[in-house]
Structure 1
Amino acid sequence: MTRKAEKPDFEHALSELESLVVRLEQGDLPIEDALASFEQGVRLTRECQTILQQAEQKVQLLTEQDGEIHANDFPNREE
């Protein structure tokens, strides 16, 4: 069973975007392929931004108390 209707995965989209950037930076793609890769990169960037905005909204809702948003510092994970 395939997962076509699955929500976009941030890590997967970011990995694809990084691969596109590497290929574009090499500078050896024909112009048509470079333009297609750039267009795909724009789409992936928008997907990543949407996912991050949704995550930010969720965090904001989870930290809202008594109708006010309280900024909570995350613990330092450095050892």
Structure 2
Amino acid sequence: MTKAEEAEQPVDFEQALAELEALVERMESGELSLEDSLKSFERGIALTRQCQKALSEAEQKVEILTGKNGEDGVEPFTADNRD
């Protein structure tokens, strides 16, 4: 599998976030070459997009499940909002 194929391969949210955190740590260490840093940055952008998409899809599901699809905003969660 090439790096480009690996970057496009979907992973679940938790895996993507963990990989993104590891990439940031490696990049912040300053031990990567410029080329490796750029590759890591590219991968990080792809992972960030995957995480944003997963969060957006989860938000849509929550809105559908709570029946608030047509309302203006999402009600913030508090412990007192239990039904």
After TM superposition, the score normalised by the length of structure 2 is 0.72
Match of 2:53 among 50, 54, 73: 50
Q: Distance in 1 between matches of 2:22 and 2:58?
A: 24
Query: Equivalent pairs: percent with the same residue?
Result: 51
RMSD: 2.5
The answer for unaligned runs of 5 or more in structure 1 is 1-5
Verify the 8 A CA contact 2:13 2:51 in the aligned structure 1.
yes
Say which structure, 1 or 2, has more relative contact order (CA 8 Å, 6+ apart). Answer: 2
The answer for unaligned runs of 5 or more in structure 2 is 1-8
Verify the 8 A CA contact 2:10 2:50 in the aligned structure 1.
no
| Structure 1 residue 23 displacement after superposition | 0.2
After TM superposition, the score normalised by the length of structure 1 is 0.76
| Structure 1 residue 64 displacement after superposition | 1.1
Structure 1 residue runs of 4+, over 6 Å off? none
Match of 2:33 among 30, 44, 67: 30
Verify the 8 A CA contact 1:63 1:72 in the aligned structure 2.
no
Matching of residue 39 in structure 1 with residue 71 in structure 2: no
Match of 1:60 among 56, 60, 63: 63
Structure with bigger strand share is 1
Name the count of aligned residue pairs.
71
